[in-house]
A and B are shown apart, each in its own frame.
Chain A
Amino acid sequence: MSAEDKANEVSADAQVQEPTPSSPDNDASASSDSAGGPITLFFIIGLAASLVLGWVIFPQLLYSKKKQPVDFNHKLHMGLVDEGCQSCHFFREDGTYSGVPKLAQCMDCHEEMQGDHPEEEKFVNEYMAKDLEVPWLVYARQPDCVFFPHAAHVKLAKMDCVTCHGNIGESENLRVYEANWITGYSRDIWGKNIAGIKRNSWDRMKMDDCSECHQKNNVNQASVQTHKGGCFVCHK
């Protein structure tokens, strides 16, 4: 029974009582006033339910949860390499960025087992031994229309990796990869907060976030239409 039906029933009761001589007029008006209580209550319950549905349940339904093929330990590896992030995530000579390492880079050390961790065993047996590339799920993957040069940001602007990627280098496990059912992109792009509020610079990776920083640092603010950044600075 909906809140409205219930309210109608209550007011119907009040009308039935009205013609009886024993109940005075102010009594009747008092009982019809009391119908406001349930209506307000049901309204508040309905509102609360919708808000929970919209802000908590729906965003969860939007994303599938995928596990990375191998649970990579960044912290452990950071302790073993000399050049920090660039040891594995490096620039190619043509200016492009290599991104997630290929099997060939892992091979230098992991041709055979280095320890006895089950994740390493999985990696060596299932991928290294069979010469299969690991199908890593890339959290920062951007749509096809985006051109992002790491060189301009890391080499020219001297930004560090943390500004956009967060403290992933200190993590011991890879996070669950949440892919948007509709677009296929990671939740890291929209951000955890469905309202788009961010506490850290790496919480969102949407166009507004790029634009915000570009505006602050006056990067190619040469657009005629928007007086902000030109489109072909980041789009292709």
Chain B
Amino acid sequence: MKHEKAKKFGMVIDLDKCTGCGTCMVACMAENNVPFREDDTDKLISVAWMRVYRLTNGKPFPHTEECFLPRPCMQCEGHDGHSPCVSVCPATATDYDMSTGIVSQIYTRCFGCRYCMAACPYHVRQFNWWDPLWPEKMTESLNPDVSVRMRGVVEKCSFCIHRYQTATQKANLEGRRELEEDEYQTACTQACPAGAITFGDLNNPGHAVHQMVKPDPNHGGRPKNPKAFRLLERLGTNPKVYYLSSRKWVRRAGDNYIRQEGSQNHS
């Protein structure tokens, strides 16, 4: 199955609009039953599917600039769906789906070897060192559409696949096979108060994301939009999460350029 005919869900995050408020992180944790620890500031053990990073241009005071960068799973396509994590998983617990372009993670299948965590260049994958413990009564507020994870397995952002499933189910009942753009949106997209996140099918010209990062054949397949970039583009992971920024230093920070390297930025 080739991607051209199928759906390819992707995300465009406008960093010019992002204020770093963290609503996407909160919405994601609530939506996806992400467990929290007594001290969630310890980033070695805490789990977050969506994480907001703070970038700085590293210049002294009058010229200091900051930028916030929300980071969901990049849902890398790699080459023919061989994304870094999918290639290394010995348990077939993670897989690339050519019909949606989403990298799946099946918690009951994962045995916690954490190869995928080592392979993922974006630190997207998180390991559960303990069983999740919610305060009493809070278990009643868990999302029934998302299975909770146990100790010893890896988890990651799924582009809220359960929303796709439940929306498809409703469409099927009404006799439709295809979804409208607004029927399937991720929790972070809908929660963002600044409207910085856009989500949709990159293969569907009717969707906003397609128009924002339309690939330019004369530009090596990269988006026409000069503000668009992807994280660690030159690793060849072929992510489906695009970022927009009007600031050059932000676009350059998206890739691991070394200091002396020339300014052969693709923007």
Residue-wise interface mask of B (100-127) relative to A, using a CB-CB cutoff of 8 A (1 in contact, 0 not): 1010101111000000000000000000
Are A236 and B177 touching (Cβ within 8 A)? no
Are A225 and B99 touching (Cβ within 8 A)? no
Are A232 and B104 touching (Cβ within 8 A)? yes
- A210 interface residue (CB < 8 Å to B): no
B78 to chain A, nearest CB (A): 9
- A182 interface residue (CB < 8 Å to B): no
Complex: chain A residue closest to B3, CB-CB: A222
- A181 interface residue (CB < 8 Å to B): no
- The total of chain B residues at the interface (CB under 8 A) is 39
A96's partner among B1, B82, B169, B171 (CB-CB below 8 A) is: B169
Distance of A76 Cα from B200 Cα, bound (Å): 50
Main secondary structure on chain A at its contact with chain B?
loop
Complex: chain A residue closest to B162, CB-CB: A236
Selected interface stretch from B49-57, B143-151, B212-220, B252-260: B143-151
Distance of A51 Cα from B133 Cα, bound (Å): 43
Residues in A with CB closer than 8 Å to B107 are: 145
Are B106 and A145 touching (Cβ within 8 A)? yes
Main secondary structure on chain B at its contact with chain A?
loop
Are A224 and B165 touching (Cβ within 8 A)? no
- B86 interface residue (CB < 8 Å to A): yes
Distance of A163 Cα from B166 Cα, bound (Å): 23
B161 to chain A, nearest CB (A): 5
- A224-B81, A235-B106 as given contacts; A151 in contact with B173, CB under 8 Å: yes
A190 to chain B, nearest CB (A): 16
B100's partner among A94, A225, A232 (CB-CB below 8 A) is: A232
Residues in A with CB closer than 8 Å to B161 are: 232, 236
B191 to chain A, nearest CB (A): 20
B169 to chain A, nearest CB (A): 4
B168 to chain A, nearest CB (A): 7
Given A96-B166, A149-B165, A232-B158, 5 additional A-B pairs, CB 8 A: A95-B171, A145-B107, A152-B168, A230-B104, A231-B97
B residues sitting closer than 8 Å to A (CB atoms) are 1, 6, 80-82, 86, 89, 92, 95-100, 102, 104, 106-109, 145-148, 158, 161-162, 164-166, 168-175, 177
